[in-house]
Amino acid sequence: MISSSVKFLLNDKLIVINNPDPNQTILNYIRTELKKTGTKEGCSEGGCGACTIVLGELVDNKIIYKAINSCISFVPSLNGKQLLIVEDLVSKDGKLHPVQDAMVKFHGSQCGFCTPGFVMTLFSMFKNNKNLNNELITDSISGNLCRCTGYRPIIDAAKSLDKKNRNDQFSKNNNKVTQLLKKIKPKNIYIKKDDKIYFSPKNIKDLKNIIKKYSNFSFLAGGTDLSLKVTKERKEIPFIIDLKEIKELDFIKVNKNYLEVGASTPLIKFEKEIKKHYPDFYLVLKRYGSIQIRNVGTIGGNIATASPIGDTLPILLSLNAEILIESFNQRKVIPINNFFLDYRKTKLKKNEFIHSIKIPLFKKNIFKAFKISKRFDDDISSVCGSFNFEIDKNKIKEVFIAFGGMAAVPKRAKACEKILKNKPLNLSTFNQAKNYLDKDLSPIGDMRASKEYRLEIAKNLLMKCFVEIDTNKLTRVN
Amino acid sequence: MSKENYINDVRPHDSAYKHVSGYAEYTDDINEPKNTIYGAIGLSKKAHAIIKKIDLSDVKKSEGVISIVTQSDIPGRNDVGPVFDGDPIFPDKKVEFFGQPLFAVAATTTELARKAVLKAKITYKDLNPVITIKDALKKKQFLFKPRKIKKGNPSKKIKNSKNNLKGNFTTGSQEHFYLEGQAAFVIPKEDDNFLVYSSTQHPSETQQLIAKMFDQKSNSINVEVRRIGGGFGGKETNFMTACICALLAKKTGQPVKLRLDRDDDIILTGKRHEFLSEYEVGFNDEGIIEGLKINLSSNCGMSPDLSAAINERALLHIDNAYYISDIEVTNNLCKTNIPTSTAFRGFGGNQGMMAIENVIDNISRYLKIDPIQVRKKNFYQKDKKNVTHYGMTIEDNVINEIFKNLENKSNYKKRYSDIKKFNEKNKFKKKGIAITPVKFGISFTTIHLNQAGALVHIYTDGSVYLNHGGIEMGQGTHTKIAQLVANSLGLPYNLVHISSTNTAKVPNTSASAASSTTDLNGAAALNAVAKIKLNLEKFIKKKYKIYNQEAIYKDQYIIFGNRQFEFKTIIQEAYLNRISLSSSGFYSTPKINFDKKKFRGRPFYYFCYGAAVSEVTIDTLTGENILERVDILHDAGKPINPALELGQIEGGFVQGQGWLTIEELNWKSNGQITTFSPSTYKIPAVSDIPKKFNVEIFKEGINKEKVVNKAKTTGEPPLMLAMSVFYAIKDAVASVGNYQFAPELNAPATPERILMSVNKIKNKIKN
Helix, strand, or coil (residue A431): helix
CA distance B186 to B255: 6
Annotation: CATH topology of A188-242: 3.30.43
* Same domain for B85 and B61: yes
- Distance between A104 CA and the closest CA of chain B, angstroms: 6
- Rounded CA-CA distance B681/B689 in Å is 17
Residue B346's nearest CA partner among B395, B373, B399, B309 is B309
The identity of residue B621, as a single letter, is: L
SS in 3 state form for B62-99? CCCEEEEECHHHCCCCCCCCCCCCCCCCCCCCEECCCC
Domains A188-242 and A380-471 share a fold: no
Task: Clarify whether residues B115 and B68 are in a common domain.
Answer: yes
Instruction: Please give the Cα distance from A136 to A162 (Å, whole number).
Output: 11
Q: For the segment B491-506, what is each residue's pLDDT rounded down to a tens digit?
A: 999 999 999 999 999 9
- CATH code for the domain of B261: 3.90.1170.50
Query: Given this structure, which CATH class describes domain A9-184?
Result: alpha beta
> Residue B547: which CATH number?
3.30.365.10
Of B724, B730, B657, give the one whose Cα is nearest residue B403: B724
Contacts of A32 in chain B (CB under 8 A): 109
Query: What's the CA gap between A7 and A14, in Å, rounded?
Result: 7
Nearest Cα residue in chain B from A384: B622
pLDDT at A163 over 50: yes
Where in the sequence is the domain holding B58, given as residue range(s)? 32-128+182-228+235-268
Question: Is the CB of A37 less than 8 angstroms away from the CB of B228?
Answer: no
Do B334 and B471 belong together in one domain? no
* Radius of gyration of chain B from its Cα atoms, rounded to whole angstroms: 27
User: B372 CB near a chain A CB, below 8 Å?
Assistant: no
Measured CA to CA, the distance from residue B488 to residue B364 in angstroms comes to 50
pLDDT at A374: 95
Instruction: Give the ipTM of the model, two decimals please.
Output: 0.98
Q: Which residues of chain B have pLDDT under 70?
A: 1-4
**Is B286 inside a domain boundary?**
yes
Please tell me whether residues B603 and B579 are part of one structural domain: no
Residue B406 in any domain: the answer is yes
Q: How many domains in chain B? A: 3
User: pLDDT, tens digit, for every residue of A30-78?
Assistant: 999 999 999 999 999 999 999 999 999 999 999 999 999 999 999 999 9
- Measure B756 CA to nearest chain A CA, in Å: 8
Strand segments (E) across A127-238: 188-193, 196-200, 218-220
Asked if residue B169 is part of any domain, the answer here is no
pLDDT tens digits, residue range B469-488?
A: 999 999 999 999 999 999 99
Last residue within a domain, chosen from B559, B588, B617: B588
Whether residues B214 and B341 fall in one domain: no
How far apart are the CA of B23 and the nearest CA of chain A, in angstroms?
6
Q: What percent of chain A has pLDDT over 70?
A: 100
| Helical H segments across A244-330, by residue range | 267-277, 279-288, 291-296, 299-305, 312-318
User: pLDDT by residue (tens digit) across A386-440?
Assistant: 999 999 999 999 999 999 999 999 999 999 999 999 999 999 999 999 999 999 9
Short-list A36, A101, A123, A124, CA closest to B22: A36
Contact A112 B24 (CB under 8 A): yes
| Same domain flag for B264 and B290 | no
Question: How close, in Å, is residue B20 to chain A by CA atoms?
Answer: 5
Q: How many CB atoms lie within 10 A of CB B6?
A: 17
Please indicate whether, in this complex, the C-beta atoms of B653 and A467 are within 8 angstroms of each other: no
Is A377 in Cβ contact with B685 (below 8 Å)? yes
Q: State how far the Cα of B375 lies from the Cα of B361, in Å rounded to an integer.
A: 9
pTM over 0.90: yes
**CA atoms of A176 and A192, how far apart (whole Å):** 32
Amino acid in the structure at residue B318? I
Q: Do B21 and A37 touch (CB under 8 A)?
A: no
On whether residue B534 sits in a domain, the answer given is yes
Among A338, A357, A393, A392, residue whose Cα is nearest residue A281: A357
Residues B383, B495, single domain; the answer is no
Please tell me the distance from the alpha carbon of residue B144 to that of residue B158, in angstroms, as a whole number.
Answer: 29
- Please tell me the number of Cα atoms within 13 Å of A72 on its side-chain side: 29
Residue B1 lies in a domain: no
Residues of B in contact with A86 (CB under 8 A): 20-22
Which CATH code is given to the segment(s) A249-360?
Answer: 3.30.465.10
B428 and B300 share one domain: yes
Query: What pLDDT, on the 0 to 100 scale, is given for residue B4?
Result: 54
Indicate whether B146 belongs to any domain: no
Residues of B identified as active-site: 716
CATH assignment of A380-471?
Answer: 3.30.390.50
Has residue B143 been placed in a domain?
A: no
Residue B289 lies in a domain: yes
Same domain (yes/no): B263, B283: no
Residue of A nearest to B176 (CA): A147
The answer to whether the peptide bond before residue B507 is cis (omega within 30 degrees of 0) is: no
- Based on the fold, state whether residues B720 and B578 are members of the same structural domain: no
A108 contacts in B (CB within 8 Å)? Answer: 20
The C-alpha atoms of residue B701 and residue B710 are separated, in whole angstroms, by 9
Q: Is B429 within 8 Å of A475 when comparing Cβ atoms?
A: yes
- Tell me the chain B residues in contact with residue A135 when contact means C-beta distances shorter than 8 Å: none
Q: What are the structural domain ranges in chain A? A: 9-184, 188-242, 249-360, 380-471
